[in-house]
Amino acid sequence: MPFEIKINPIANSRISELDQNNIQFGRLYSDHMLIAHYEDGTWGNPEIVPFANLSLSPATTFMHYGQAIFEGVKAYKDAKGDARIFRPEDNWKRMNRSAHRMAMPDVPKEIFVEGMRKLIDLDQAWIPTRAGCSLYIRPFMIATDEFVGVRPATKFSFIIITSPAAAYYSKPVSIFVHDEFVRAFPGGIGFTKAAGNYGASMYPDQLIKKMGYDQILWTDGFEHKYVQEIGTMNVFFVIDDKVITPDLVGGTILEGITRASVITLLKEKGVTVEERPISISEIEAAYKNGTLKEAFGTGTAASVAPIGKLTFHTDVMQLRPVEEWETMNWIKTTLDDIRYGRIEDNHGWILTV
């Protein structure tokens, strides 16, 4: 069934609130949002409306039982000023994998991708143009039954909001490898972007931040032997001339879209990429014998973030200066060149608005 996307534009734009020289992640939201409701087994027509508070009953089910999922996408502006969204269709597919596991309805592509395109078209002025900047796009779905009781909901809302973003980390990140807490177990929801995954990570995250670290590197739940992923990034290690990243078997790791892009581009360049279990002791051994050349995280928010320091128990691994990292620097530049339209997109990753 085709959807009609209605637009109710804002009377007075708030664009003057955007200071291109002082953009803080996730603080300011652009003029409009998209909202669609699901009821009686079908989605209604999405609407693009002025960004505003929602009015919800305190009994709204997602607030109690966590039937809530989200995505993270970015739009960039090229030199001509045209807006480009990076791989939105892949986010749509991942959103629906999350939805399936969380007993939530699939979001139709027309609502997710076409709705997003129309929203970005309307709010193009909110895409910052300074180097490294973008518009962060946050699609999400919540269960909206007014019912306190544990059962899958029947009513849902899908919403997209957007927020101007600058570069996420300005210097290499420090990472603490955790072997006490667990992010995900096989059979659980680690492969989804369910809100609960992030809620459960707050306490361990608070602990490592107090210790002066930026992010956690999670380990597997059985033995705490194999590394999994970082807070909101997948992780890559360059050992000798090989690039190694944890595989997705077991469903404990989020299938990152940046991760997939990095693997594709490196393989096309002829670099050996191994997706396989990688243990913390293998990383420590490589560090000691000098073959651990680079380590970096990948994600939509942070793009490609070099790891400057990696700590496991009392073992502090300090990596060499980032300027010397060939692989990370190449992949970061190449991805940015595709996103900002400086080189051709040979993969069909860009949706031009």
Ligand X SMILES: Cc1ncc(COP(=O)(O)O)c(C=O)c1O
CB of 271 to ligand X, least distance (A): 19
CB of 259 to ligand X, least distance (A): 6
* Binds ligand X by CB under 6 A, chosen from 259, 293, 332, 339: 259
Nearest alpha carbon to residue 149 among 68, 69, 60? 60
Give the span between the Cα atoms of 198 and 1, in whole angstroms: 34
* Closest CA relative to residue 97, chosen from 71, 72, 62: 71
Contacts with ligand X, 264-303, as mask; x by CB under 6 A: ----------------------------------xxx---
The DSSP element (H or E) to which 157 belongs, if any, is strand 156-165
CB of 250 or CB of 256, closer to ligand X: 256
Q: Which is nearer to ligand X, 31 or 229 (CB)?
A: 229
What's phi and psi for 322, nearest 5 deg? -60, -30
Contacting ligand X (CB under 6 A), which of 162, 192, 258, 334?
Answer: 258
256 binds ligand X (CB under 6 A): yes
If one asks whether residue 163 binds ligand X (CB under 6 A), the answer comes out as no
Look at the block and give the residue holding tokens 């909206």: 144
Please identify, using beta-carbon distances, which residue of 61 and 298 lies nearer to ligand X: 298
Kindly give the pairing relationship between strand 32-39 and strand 73-77.
unpaired
CA distance 122 to 140: 19
Candidates 44-52, 123-131, 160-168, 257-265; binding stretch for ligand X (CB under 6 A) = 257-265
Can you tell me the distance from the alpha carbon of 124 to that of 10, in angstroms, rounded to the nearest whole number? 14
Residues of span 41-100 touching ligand X by CB under 6 A: 72
Q: How far is the CB of 74 from ligand X (least distance, A)?
A: 9
User: Could you tell me if 98 and 158 are in contact, meaning their C-beta atoms sit under 8 angstroms apart?
Assistant: no
Residues 6+ apart with CB under 8 A from 272: 241, 242, 243
Q: Mask 215-254, x = binds ligand X (CB under 6 A)?
A: --------------x--xxx-------------------x
Identify which of residues 122 and 262 has a Cβ nearer to ligand X in the complex.
262
**Residue 239 or 335 with smaller CB distance to ligand X:** 335
- As measured in angstroms, the least distance from the Cβ of 253 to ligand X is 7
337's enclosing H/E stretch is helix 326-339
What's the CA gap between 295 and 304, in Å, rounded?
10
CB of 71 to ligand X, least distance (A): 8
State how far the Cα of 203 lies from the Cα of 25, in Å rounded to an integer: 21
Q: Are 105 and 96 in contact (CB under 8 A)?
A: no
Phi first, then psi, for residue 309 (nearest 5°) are: -140, 135
How many of the chain's residues bind ligand X (CB under 6 A)? 13
Q: Does 143 contact ligand X by CB under 6 A?
A: no
Taking contact as CB under 6 A, which single stretch among the options 121-129, 237-245, 256-264, 309-317 is the one that binds ligand X? 256-264
Minimum CB distance to ligand X smaller for 48 or for 244: 244
Q: Cα separation of 234 and 217, whole Å?
A: 9
Question: Toward ligand X, which CB reaches closer, 31 or 71?
Answer: 71
Contact residues: ligand X, CB under 6 A: 72, 229, 232-234, 254, 256-259, 298-300
